[in-house]
Amino acid sequence: MQPMIIIGSGMAGYTLAREYRKLNKEQPLIMLCADDGASYAKPTLSNALASNKHPTQIALADANKMAEQLNMQIITHAWVTAVDSEQHTLSYTQNQQTFELEFSQLILAVGANPIRLAISGDGSDDIHLINSLTDYRAFREHLDLQQQQRIVILGAGLIGCEFANDLHQAGHAATVIDLAPQPLGRLLPAHVASAFQQKLQQSGVRFILETTVDRVSKIDQHYLITLANGHSIEADAVICAIGLQPNIELAKQTGINTSRGIITNTLMQTNLQHIYALGDCAEVNGTLLPYVMPLMQQARALAKTLAGEHTQVHYPAMPVAVKTPAAPLTVLPPPQNVVVNWETEYLEDGLVSKAIDSENMLRGFVLLGATAAKQRLSLTKLVPDLIPAQV
């Protein structure tokens, strides 16, 4: 019996393997991964400092334990170099040797990589991109945790703001730099972004907006960051968190249709019959949602399909909780192709802002503050499904 192969050992790959094993205990299963195959929840990386979690505490299990738990073979430090969809084979390299495997079904759970800015200066190579436990470990080793460090974060999106809040809570000085006029520009309307920024600033996070970084220069053990607006600031470490780019190169090389991500239908199937994709790399019916809840929905549906029961993924309304305790925030962005008006109710400790469409239907919302957060469940029930359940 040819094995089913999963490429990628992130949350998507391991969640699919778990869900599949609930339905089929016998099918040979192989996982290929470029790292050490440790199982961990990537979202914990952006709030691990304040909770005093050492990198060794973040990993839930190593590759050997996961292989035993899931009755699967896990091949670590392996790079897939080619896929032959007609012959149902793939090639990978490990320790400078090339190997070939046959597969019955192939699942791409290859995730997304952080976007690296082209920045000049002899300190630019030291900029941290934190997208894995290995990256986080390197960042922790760079920090002097015994005294306050000045950390500059490039990018005021979700990850940048979470890291800023976490670093500040852990006793460090966090400065966030972004070209946009407001934080979380893609998720929040301007008036909510302004209130969110104000709450983080009151807690001690500093924002420098509407400019970008031109140069990062080394000065002894520190860095001088020169901004496009002519100003400069010093830092002990720099993090780049301007966004993620789905890994689509292997898919493109294989002849799989791609756009921003790897294009799939609601069965998580690519244009090649026996090849599927899920997680941060998957663009389902034109929608790319790099969050945990969509990933779980994808994994459950795809596991059933792979086990013989064709199941289309269902996207209910899925709010995103931003891990910024200084400014508790829950966001359910309205669909990009829907025109909405924002109706806002201001509370003592925050606000509730509702996205209402032309037919007076709730299409999204933002909850800022602990009081507003209590409305999460009741409002979520009123928002139509993004991808309806199939009857």
Task: Answer yes or no: is pLDDT of 53 > 90.
Answer: no
pLDDT tens figures, 311-326 = 999 999 999 999 999 9
pLDDT tens figures, 134-163 = 999 999 998 877 788 999 999 999 999 999
pLDDT tens figures, 70-83 = 999 999 999 999 99
- Classify the C-alpha dihedral 7-11-17-19 as positive or negative: negative
Residue among 148, 183, 184, 186 nearest 167 (CA): 148
- Domains plus CATH for the chain? 4-112+244-306 (3.50.50.60), 116-240 (3.50.50.60), 328-380 (3.30.390.120)
- Compute the C-alpha angle 76/116/194, nearest 5°: 120
Rounded CA separation 128/242 (Å): 12
Kindly report the pTM of this predicted structure. 0.94
Rounded CA separation 147/101 (Å): 50
Rounded CA separation 159/135 (Å): 14
pLDDT tens figures, 172-211 = 999 999 999 999 998 999 999 999 999 999 999 999 999 9
Alpha helices in 318-375 (DSSP H): 370-373
Task: Answer yes or no: is pLDDT of 386 > 70.
Answer: yes
pLDDT tens figures, 212-262 = 999 999 998 899 999 999 999 999 999 999 999 999 999 999 999 999 999
pLDDT at 313: 97
Cα-based distances in Å from 349 to 144, 184, 269, 320: 35, 19, 45, 20
The percent of residues in the chain predicted with pLDDT above 70, rounded, is 100
Place of tokens 């005093």: 52
Place of tokens 């962005």: 333
Q: How far is CA 303 from the centre of its chain?
A: 21
Rounded CA separation 346/113 (Å): 38
Place of tokens 């220069």: 217
pLDDT tens figures, 93-132 = 999 999 999 999 999 999 999 999 899 999 999 999 999 9
Question: b or e along 294-331 (b: 16 or more beta carbons within 10 Å of the residue's beta carbon)?
Answer: bbebbbbbbbbbbeeeebbbbbbbbbbbbbbebbbbbb
